[in-house]
Amino acid sequence: MLVLALVCSTCLHAQPPAKNPLDFEGAVAQLSADDFQIRQAAYEWLEKWAGENLRNSPEALSRVWRASEDPEAKTRCYQLMKEMFMRRDSPGKGFLGITMMDFLLHREDQPLRVVRVSRVWPDTAASKAGLMLEDLILRVDDVDFGNADLGFSLPTEEFSKYIKSKHPGEVVTLHILRGAKTMQIKVTLMQCPPHADPDGEKARLDAERMFENWLKKMDG
C-alpha cells in the first residue's frame, strides 16, 4: 500500500511534457505560456527555425518583438533577432580550433597540396567534431587546395580565409584523409575567441552599430 501511495503521489506531481510547436505562430504563442518547459521548448524551436531560415528570420522576429506585450517573449525575440542578424549580416569570423601546417601529399603519383592538423585545441569546434592530430584536410566544402586557380597561395592561407569568411554556427564539410581512410566530417563553426582575433573588439562594435541602424530602418 505504501509503495502504491508513493507511485500515485509521484504521478500527481509529475510535470506534463512540454508541447512541441508545429509552426512559427505556434512557437511565438507558446513563448508567453505559464509553464517554463513550454516556453523553453518554444524558444528552442524558434532558435532552430531562425537558423534554418536565416535569410528572413531577423525580419520575422522583429515583427513579433514589436507586437508582443509579454516582457519575457519580447526579450527572447530581441535576443534571437539580434543573434540571427549578426550571423547573417556581420562579417564571418568563424573559428575551427586547430593549429595547422602546409603539407605536400603524394597520392597516385600526383603531388597534392593539403592542410595537416598539428594540434586540436580542446573545447573547440574541431574537437567536438572529432578532428584528430595528423589528419590531412584535402578540401573544405568545394574549395580544393590543389586547384591551379589558387596560384601560389598556401593551403593553410586559403583554408583559414575560407573558415573566417563563415559565420559562427555555420556548418562546413571537411574532406579528410586519416591514415589510409578518407572521410567527411561536418563541423559547426564557433565564434572566433578574442585571443585568436586581434580585430575582434572592433568587429563586434561595428556589428552592434550595423544592428542598431538596421533596427531603426525596420522601425521606419
**202 and 167, same domain (yes or no):** no
Domain membership flag for residue 13: no
**64 and 150, same domain (yes or no):** no
Beta strands in the chain (DSSP E): 94-95, 98-107, 110-120, 136-140, 143-144, 171-178, 181-188, 190-191
**65 and 101, same domain (yes or no):** no
Distance from C-alpha of 8 to C-alpha of 14, rounded to nearest angstrom: 10
**109 and 176, same domain (yes or no):** yes
**189 and 103, same domain (yes or no):** yes
**170 and 81, same domain (yes or no):** no
Domain membership flag for residue 8: no
Domain membership flag for residue 107: yes
| pTM greater than 0.75 | no
Angle at 75 between CA 73 and CA 80, to 5 degrees: 95
> pLDDT tens digits for 13-70?
444 444 566 688 888 999 989 999 999 999 999 998 988 888 899 999 999 999 989 9
The CATH number covering residue 164 comes to 2.30.42.10
Domain that holds residue 75: 21-90+197-220
Domain membership flag for residue 11: no
Among the listed residues 196, 163, 142, the one whose alpha carbon sits nearest the alpha carbon of residue 91: 163
Domain membership flag for residue 28: yes
Is the model more confident about 34 or about 6?
34
Check: CB of residue 19 under 8 Å from CB of residue 38. Answer: yes
* Average pLDDT value over all residues in the chain: 82
**142 and 185, same domain (yes or no):** yes
**85 and 137, same domain (yes or no):** no
Using 50, 70 and 90 to split pLDDT, how confident is the model at 145? confident
Instruction: Look at residue 164 and tell me whether its pLDDT is greater than 80.
Output: yes
Domain membership flag for residue 4: no
Check: CB of residue 94 under 8 Å from CB of residue 156. Answer: no
**104 and 84, same domain (yes or no):** no
**204 and 188, same domain (yes or no):** no
**Residue 20: C-alpha distances to residues 29, 30, 39, 73 (Å):** 12, 9, 10, 17
> pLDDT tens digits for 86-134?
777 766 678 899 999 999 888 777 788 899 999 999 989 999 999 999 9
Check: CB of residue 106 under 8 Å from CB of residue 73. Answer: no
- Give the cell for residue 36: 517554463
Please count the structural domains in the chain. 2
**118 and 165, same domain (yes or no):** yes
Domain membership flag for residue 105: yes
Domain membership flag for residue 137: yes
DSSP H or E run through 25? helix 24-30
